[in-house]
Amino acid sequence: MSLTETLRSLLGAKYVLTGDGTDRWARDWAGVHQGTPLAVLRPANTAEVSAILKLANETQTPVVPVSGNTSLAGGTAAADALLVSIDRMSAIREVRPAARTVTVEAGVVLSKIHDAVEEHGLIFPLFFGARGSAMIGGALSTNAGGSNVLRYGNTRDLCIGLEVVLPTGEIVNLMSALHKDNSGYNLRQLIIGAEGTLGIITAAVLKLHPKPRAYATAMVAMPSVTDALGLLNRLQLETGGSVQAFEYMPRAFIEAYLALHPEARAPFEDMHDINILVEVGAVAPRDAIPGADGKIPVVSHLEDVLGALFEDGSIVDAVVAQNETQREEMWARREASAEVSRLHSPIVDNDIAVPLDQMQNLMNKIAEILTDLDPDARETSVAHLGDGNLHFACWPSRDDPKLIEAIHTAVEDAALAMDGSFSAEHGIGTSKLDSMQKHKDPAAMAAMRAIKQALDPNNILNPGKVLPDAK
């Protein structure tokens, strides 16, 4: 039988898609990275994933895993490869409230996990704009970040068990829900963030946290980014480390958002250059249960702190959400960042990170770069300011590939000069291979290639991603 016929015998004909049937999976959500896969395969369980990889390894056929296809780095580009979609593997196997864990299959959409654990008074605190379509397998494969990293960590910090199929088809069961297990190399952490180059994640045990009983959410205008970080440190002290989001949006981003959503309100009566979305989550009843005056303590406390800072001139303006509608309105601005950045084309974007105390210097340097290279460029960056991750974005004044590359490279170099990273949370995929080649420590790169060769000797699993070709 041909390869396609063999696959149909393994999965059933309706779950082996070819030709036009692959269109839904063959391009990423932004339409930047696309290709023509040999076929799209939709296995129903781990055993079928294993059978696919055994066959692919024997025939040396490239395989590319895909989850919700919300990648921004070309991690699922699959020309002339088998595209393995895990969308049918979407069961929530078990919620264990006492242990604060949930066991899920890799194709579960994030918002479904959120809904499943909320009824137990718990949260899975991985939140970002694409949570209604992104799947946990992809989030684990890219070690996704999001808006709550400040309090809860990246995806790898939220996973304590993993099931993965290696490129040879072997199934590795690391599904223990133990918080302590020093029995050899930490293979789970090796697979997380490998972008599907070392194995296909099929299931996971995830760590849950108590759902905050109340939120205090505010928009704050600051004199500078350095002052904003001072505010973050002050609020962490005032709240016992309960700040869970601290998001930066400049004036240009707010203006672009309002142009996209003319029905929306501006965050303040006056426009300000530096706008911060801050959110504190209160778990303890003493902070969340309304007092005799009907006020929620954590909200009152935030109002008092911001009021005092306004009086002494440390902040420029502040608005505290008084209800869930106002809170959602504040979050809607931040979560529209991907949509806003693509209002115009071409776009230059970098996913970079620097130490927190370097963020003001980085933004100053970027302003210099744009002044030198393209004074008429329009910047619409946003940042997870609390963890030092800047999503630089700008619309250059002309569609000039050399200009676009010059801006991108200069911004990347600026971050690296400040002991930063050229890839904070979106992964490497294909779009950052040149940066890996240019900037990654050679010894680290050699170690990565050795691991890849050991686990995937035929280089079938997501080839051409993460690791640039050896020179």
Q: Which amino acid is at 384?
A: H
In this structure, of 67-81, 160-174, 379-393, 424-438, the range with the lowest mean pLDDT score is 67-81
The edge-to-edge listing of strands for the beta sheet with 63-66 is: 16-17, 39-41, 82-85, 63-66
Residues in contact with 413: Cβ distance below 8 Å, sequence separation at least 6, in sequence order: none
Which tokens in the block code for residue 84?
């393995």
Measure CA of the first residue to CA of the last residue in the chain; give whole Å: 39
Same domain, 146 and 39: no
Domain identity same for 129 and 77: no
In 274-386, which ranges are continuous DSSP H helix?
285-288, 297-311, 324-335, 337-341, 359-373
What's the pLDDT at 469? 86
The pLDDT value recorded for residue 425 is: 87
Which CATH number characterizes residue 8's domain? 3.30.43.10
pLDDT value at position 330?
97
Same domain as 103, residue 173? yes
Q: Is residue 436 part of a domain?
A: no
Q: How confident is the model at residue 132 (pLDDT cuts 50, 70, 90)?
A: confident
429 located within any domain: no
What is the reported pLDDT for 31?
Answer: 62
Query: Are both 164 and 97 inside the same structural domain?
Result: yes
pLDDT digits (tens, 9 = 90+) for 151-197: 999 999 999 999 999 999 999 999 988 888 888 999 999 999 999 99
Considering the domain architecture, whether residues 145 and 198 belong to the same structural domain is answered as yes
pLDDT band at 133 (very low <50, low <70, confident <90, very high): confident
Q: Check whether residue 22 and residue 74 sit in a common domain.
A: yes
Q: How far apart are CA 341 and CA 325, in angstroms?
A: 25
Q: When comparing pLDDT for 25 and 13, which is higher?
A: 13
Place 249 in a pLDDT band, splitting at 50, 70 and 90. Answer: very high
Beta-sheet pairing, 214-221 with 274-282:
antiparallel
**DSSP readout, 89-126?**
---EEEEETTTTEEEEETT-BHHHHHHHHHTTTEE---
DSSP 87: T
Lowest mean pLDDT among 42-46, 121-125, 290-294, 324-328: 290-294
Distances in whole angstroms, Cα of residue 384 to Cα of each of 46, 144, 243, 362, 388: 35, 13, 13, 14, 6
Read off the pLDDT of each residue in 15-35 and give the average, rounded to a whole number: 79
Tell me the mean pLDDT in the region 243-263: 95
Task: Report yes or no on 440 lying in a domain.
Answer: no
Separation CA 462–CA 54 (nearest Å): 15
pLDDT at 28 over 90: no
CA distances 177 to 18, 133, 159, 193, 442, Å, are 39, 26, 9, 20, 35
Instruction: Out of 417, 450, 465, pick the residue that ends a domain.
Output: 417
In a domain, 193, yes or no: yes
CATH number of the structural domain spanning residue 260: 3.30.70.2190
Both tokens of residue 159? 């996973």
H helices, E strands: number in the chain: 16, 19
CATH assignment of the domain containing 359: 3.30.70.2740
Calculate what percentage of the chain has a pLDDT beyond 90: 84
Q: Does position 234 have pLDDT exceeding 70, yes or no?
A: yes
In a shared domain, residues 199 and 246: no
Question: How many other C-beta atoms are found inside a 10 Å radius of the C-beta of residue 357?
Answer: 11
The mean pLDDT value for 271-282 works out to: 97
Q: pLDDT at residue 247 above 70? A: yes
pLDDT higher than 90, residue 278: yes
C-alpha–C-alpha distance, residues 386 and 151, integer Å: 9
For the chain, how many structural domains are there in total? 4
Residue 231 has pLDDT above 80, yes or no: yes
Q: What is the pLDDT of residue 67?
A: 87
Query: The pTM is what?
Result: 0.92
b/e map 121-136, b = 16+ CB within 10 Å:
ebbbbbbbbbbeebbb
pLDDT tens per residue, range 391-408: 999 999 999 999 999 999
In-domain check, residue 425 = no
Phi and psi at residue 340, to the nearest 5°: -65, -45
What tokens were used for 304?
Answer: 């008092």
Where is the domain boundary, 85, 106, 122? 85
Instruction: Provide mean pLDDT across the span 283-303.
Output: 94
Q: Say if residue 196 is in the same domain as residue 243.
A: no
CA–CA gap between residue 49 and residue 155 (Å, rounded): 23
Residue 234 belongs to some domain of the structure: yes
| Alpha-carbon distances of 443 from 74, 94, 189, 412, 449, rounded to whole Å | 25, 41, 20, 21, 10
d(CA 233, CA 53): 49
The dihedral through the CA atoms of 96, 100, 106, 111 has a sign that is positive
What pLDDT score was predicted for residue 466? 94
Q: Is 462 a domain residue?
A: no
Q: Averaged over 8-34, what is the pLDDT?
A: 83
Longest dimension (CA), the chain: 78
Of 391, 392, 467, nearest to 433 by C-alpha is 467
**Beta strands at 39-41 and 82-85: parallel, antiparallel or unpaired:** parallel
Domain with 39 in it: 3-85
Task: Tell the residue number behind the tokens 């963020």, with chain if given.
Answer: 359
Q: Is residue 355 part of a domain?
A: yes
Q: How far apart are CA 249 and CA 257, in angstroms?
A: 10
Q: Of the residues 286, 311, 335, which one is the last residue of a structural domain?
A: 335
- Burial class of residue 370, CB neighbours in 10 A (0-12, 13-18, 19+): buried
User: Which residues touch 271 (CB under 8 Å, ≥6 apart)?
Assistant: 251, 254, 255
pLDDT on residue 396: 97
Q: Are residues 219 and 206 in the same domain?
A: no
The mean predicted confidence, pLDDT, of the chain is 94
CATH of the domain at 118: 3.30.465.10
Task: Tell me: do 98 and 201 sit in the same domain.
Answer: yes
Do residues 106 and 199 share a domain? yes
Mark whether 348 and 325 lie in a shared domain.
no
Exposed / middle / buried, residue 182 (Cβ in 10 Å: 0-12, 13-18, 19+):
exposed
Tens-digit pLDDT profile for residues 317-332:
999 999 999 999 999 9
